Structure 1
Amino acid sequence: MADLIRIAQVEELGQDPVLRRAAAPVAGAGQVLVRMRAAALNFADLLKAQGSYQEPSDPPFVPGLEGAGEVIAAPGDSGLTPGDRVAVLAPGTMAEIVAVPAAGCLPIPGAMDFAQAAGFQIAYGTGHLALDFRAALQPGETLAVLGAAGGVGLTAVEIGHAMGARVIGVARGAQRLARVREAGADEVIDSETCADLKSALRDLGGVDVVYDPVGDSAGEAAFAALRRGGRFLVIGFAGGRQPVLPLNHALVKNIAIHGFYWGGYHQLDPAALRRSMARLFALFEAGRLAPVAGHGLPLERIAEGYGLLRDRKAVGKVVISL
C-alpha cells in the first residue's frame, strides 16, 4: 500500500477545507518532490474556496498557493539536491508532501526559517514589484497602505519603509495599528473610528502612491487624497466591492491607475519577478525585512485560518505548520 500523507481538501465550494489522508505523490518528469514544513494562507485561498477567484479550481482540491520545505528528490538538471531548503510556489501546498515543477522551487537564505519562507513570495513579491516596478515609489514620497495589518498590506508597509518612503498605514483597531507601526509606518489611521478617510489623508499632506488591497469606499477615499501625478495600485478587493474611481480626476490630476496581479507576471515578465525576488532576499539578508508569521496554526486547525481571513482578523500572514 502506498504511504499515506495528511492533506487539507476543499470538498465543496463555500465550505472550509477538511483534513484527509491521501497517497503520497510520485514526482513526474521535471518535478521536484518536497516535504512541506509550512504553508501560508492568502486571501486568494479564501476566494478559491468560495468559487470567486479569477483562476478557479473545481473541488475536490488541495488549497494553498505557497509554502516551504525540504527537497526529497529532484531532477538532475534542476540544480536542487535532497535536503535543500526551498520556498515553493505552486497550487496545493497544504499537504505533507508535494510534487511540483522545478521552476516552482526557490532556494531560501540560510537565516530564513520555514515559517518565514512559507509566506514570503506572494506577499513580499506583490509589495515590492507593485511599489518598485509599477508605481516607481521614490524616497521621500508618501505611500498610503490600505488594509495595512493584513498579510499583503503589512509587507507593503515594510517594503515602502525600506524604500525610503513616508508610510501611512490604514487598519482597524489599536492592536493592529501597533503592529503596523512596528513594520515601519510613520503615521497610522484607524479605519474603525475614522469617519472621513479622504480628509484624514489630506490632513497628513496627501498621498503620492496608494496601495489598495481593500477597494470599496476606502479605495475611493484614498484615491481622492492623491496628489497630482499620483499612482493608484489596484491590488485586490478584500472589502467586498470594487472601488468606483472617477477617471476625470485621473485625467486632470495626471493620476496613473495600475492594476496589479503578481501571479500574472509569470507570463507577462518572469525576468522582473526574478529580479524582484533577488532584491527581496538581499534586503532580508541585510536585516531590512523581518517577515513574521502573524498566526501559526497546525494543519488540523486550517479552518480557523480561513476564519481569520474571512473575518478580517488576521494580523500578518496565517501560516499552517506541516
Structure 2
Amino acid sequence: MRILVTGGAGFIGSHYVRTLAERGDCTLTVLDKLTYAGNLANLAPADGRFTFVRGDICDAALVGELVAAHDQVVHFAAETHVDRSISGAGEFVRTNVTGTYTLLAAAVEHGLGTFVHISTDEVYGSIPEGSWGEEQPLAPSSPYSASKASSDLLALAYHRTYGLDVRVTRCSNNYGPYQFPEKVIPLFVSRLLDGGKVPLYGDGMNARDWLHVSDHVAGIEHVRQGGRPGEVYNIGGGTELTNLELTGLLLEACGAGWEHVEFVEDRLGHDRRYSVDDGKIRAELGYRPAVDFEKGLAETVEWYRDNRAWHEAHKGP
C-alpha cells in the first residue's frame, strides 16, 4: 500500500507517520510545505522509512504527480490556529479550501483508491449541553473552522459527484508531544517551565474534550482501513475540562501557582463548549481511546520538560 500523507511534518501528521513507519507495512511519502508549524525534527524517529517531498498542496502539478504514484491519501495539511485565522484568514482559505480542492481533483483524475480527510469538531460550532453527532449541520464560528467546514463539504461532494472514496474524521482537541507551542497545553507548559505567566481567555469556563494524539491516530487508522466511503466519523477522547480546570492541572504539573495566570480578554467568536458523540466509530469500527488523560498529560508535560531545546526553538507568539 502506497500512502501519501499531506502535512506529515506537523504535530498530528508526524505522529501518524511515525506510527505507520514503525509498523512497516506500507510505503509512505510525506508532502509538507514546512511552514512555521512543520518541522522535520518531528519525523526524525522515522528517518529512512519514508520519502519526504517539500511542497505546497496548492501546487497542482506536484500534487498530480504525487497522487498518481499512490493508492491512498491521508490529508492532514492545514492552517489550524484560530487566533491566526482571526488576524489573517486568507491563508486559511487558500490552504484549507483550495489546497483540499487541488488534492481532490488530482484524486479523481488519477483514480485514487481512498482519500481520508482529517477535520475537527470545531466545524459543528458550540453546544451548551449534550454532544454533536455526525449528522449535525455545520455551524463554524471562526475563519479557521469555516475553512475546515468548507473543505469537509467539498470532500464529501467529491464522493457524491465523482464516486471518490472519501472518508472524513472530526476529532476533539488533541494533546501530546511535538505540538507547536501556540496551542494551549504546550504554550502553557513551555511558559510555566520558564517561570513565566500564561494567558487564560475570558472567565476560563470554555469547555473542550481532550484526545491524546496516539488515540487520534488509532481512530484515523480504523477509518482508513475499515471506514465506509462517504461517511464522517467523530473521534473523541472522553475527557471534558473547562480551560480553568485544565489550567489548574498544568499549574500543578509544572509546580506553579495561580499567580502565574493572567486572565485576558476573550477571543473573538470564542465557542463556549465542544462535545462530539463518537458512538459511530466505536460501534462500527471498534475504536476506543486507550490513553488515560491523567497519565497522558503527565507524560506530555514530562516530554516538554525533557525536550526544552525543541520547544525553545518553536515557541509560539
TM-score normalised by the chain length of structure 1 = 0.36
- Name the structure where helix makes up a greater proportion of residues: 2
Between structure 1 and structure 2, the one with the greater Rg is 1
Structure with the larger strand share: 1
